[in-house]
Amino acid sequence: MDIEPIIIPIEEHNIEIQQQEDDIESDGYDQVFQSNEFCRWRKNSPYLYNVLFYELLACPSPTVQWLDQHTIKGDPKCDYYRLIIGTQGGRTPTDSRNELMVIEVRLPMLEYDFSKHPDQGFDEVTGEHGGYEMGIRGSMHPYVPMYHIGDVNKARAMPQNTFKIASFSSINDIFLFDYSKHPSKLNPDGICRPQAILRGHTDEGFALSWHPMQQGLLLSSAQDGKMCVWNLEKMSINSTTTTVHNGIECNTIIEPVEIIDSERTLVDAIQWHPNHPAVFGAAAASGTLLITDLRASSGTAVLVEPLISSTSTSSLSSKTLQFRVKVHSDDCNCLAFHPVNEYAILTGSDDTTVALWDMRNLSKEVRRFEQRHRDGVLEVSWSPLAPSIFASSSADQHVFVWDLKSNDEIIFDHKGHDSRIPDISWHPTRPMIASVAEDSSFQIWEANIVESLINST
């Protein structure tokens, strides 16, 4: 099947924002972040965003993901969204327990004209904040908080059933939570009660990926160099009497159906291919990209064979597809398969660069984006709405939004955080991004230029 190329140069977009002399009234957020770069961004922010919501969390969250629930609550002015976040380092200095949380965020509908309804503004609602004087207000509250033993290194919801969330803990285990089975408030006993514990790694990890087509099929990778495949629909369960041990109550222990050795000491990221059911990729130490086909492994292919025959017809169907390629000069931290072009893949690295690759020829990158990020690239993610647009977050405190069609490449620079940004998540149907940083900041934002560009395609 021929795939049209996704790189088509077009005219560059340039927008210049004038520095405003008038000081905008400061708030608690500004009292925490005082860097010159943040303050400059703060002054210009009213002119850059359609939506800008922020929250200072009690603890940093290293993970964030939109859930597909867009709830309707009879409010003509607001949209309600749910996301996953987690805590790292304990709830408080004296309480080492962490939390995995499904949160609900209320944001105003952009179509609602507040100027015609001044008596119904959001300022009168207790607990609302955000917006940087943009007329954009919002609120956030925990929808379902769950106690979590160890840091929440990464959390991802199963796409076929978003009530089920896998969470990689810093104690080496992966917890499986079904948040529909948990109360809306934390249990006063402080016990972590996952529905299952996935046990197979010997070191902590930061990489999880649910299969986009096969329900219950999960990939994980960790600093022990192992890549584990889990089948949670037909799982081998070791059931024991329900007891509380080390603050955890769970009677379901699951072992992986296959363990693949990366032959590296560290695997930072892993992802199923969105179009080829047996293929997945991993970002590993020493700048290595791994591409694996389960049909070349020891039998796990039976889990995806029903999908392969009806969906896979291209050259990627080769049963001998096994790549181990040096793609960066330093550790490879992240990767992202293109959602439409089956051959395109992005990688990001501690060498500060992002690279675009064609899987049919991995000997040379299609394009390398360099001298933009000033520190390691921690996450890359394609927009689900526009095939040429992707975002990258970095330890340099920036989230860049890129357009492959732009000569200048970067179309937007989000500077709202004041520390490393380990995770970002595009909303599936709106050009909004949620981002979290090690400074405990959590933000939801929709840039004017990104929204205009996506809507024009």
Render pLDDT for 412-455 as a digit per residue (tens, 0 to 9).
999 999 899 999 999 999 999 999 999 999 999 999 999 999 98
Rounded to whole angstroms, the Cα distance separating 391 from 408 reads 14
Higher-scoring residue by pLDDT: 73, 141: 141
Q: Under a CB-based contact definition with an 8 Å cutoff, are residues 281 and 289 in contact?
A: yes
Partner residues linked to 355 by β-bridges: 347, 368
Render pLDDT for 26-47 as a digit per residue (tens, 0 to 9).
455 656 666 777 788 888 888 8
What's the confidence (pLDDT) of residue 342? 94
Rounded to whole angstroms, the Cα distance separating 123 from 56 reads 19
What's the confidence (pLDDT) of residue 118? 38
Which residues have C-beta within 8 Å of that of residue 438, sequence separation ≥ 6? Answer: 60, 62, 419, 420, 421, 422
Which residues have C-beta within 8 Å of that of residue 384, sequence separation ≥ 6? Answer: 339, 426, 428, 429
> Topology of 39-298+324-456 in CATH?
Methylamine Dehydrogenase; Chain H (2.130.10)
Q: What is the pTM of this model?
A: 0.85
330: helix, strand or coil = coil
Domain map (residue ranges) of the chain = 39-298+324-456
- Whether residue 191 is predicted with pLDDT greater than 80 in this model: the reply is yes
Render pLDDT for 435-444 as a digit per residue (tens, 0 to 9).
999 999 999 9
Helix (H) or strand (E) holding 309: helix 305-311
- Kindly report the number of other CB atoms within 10 A of residue 200's CB atom: 20
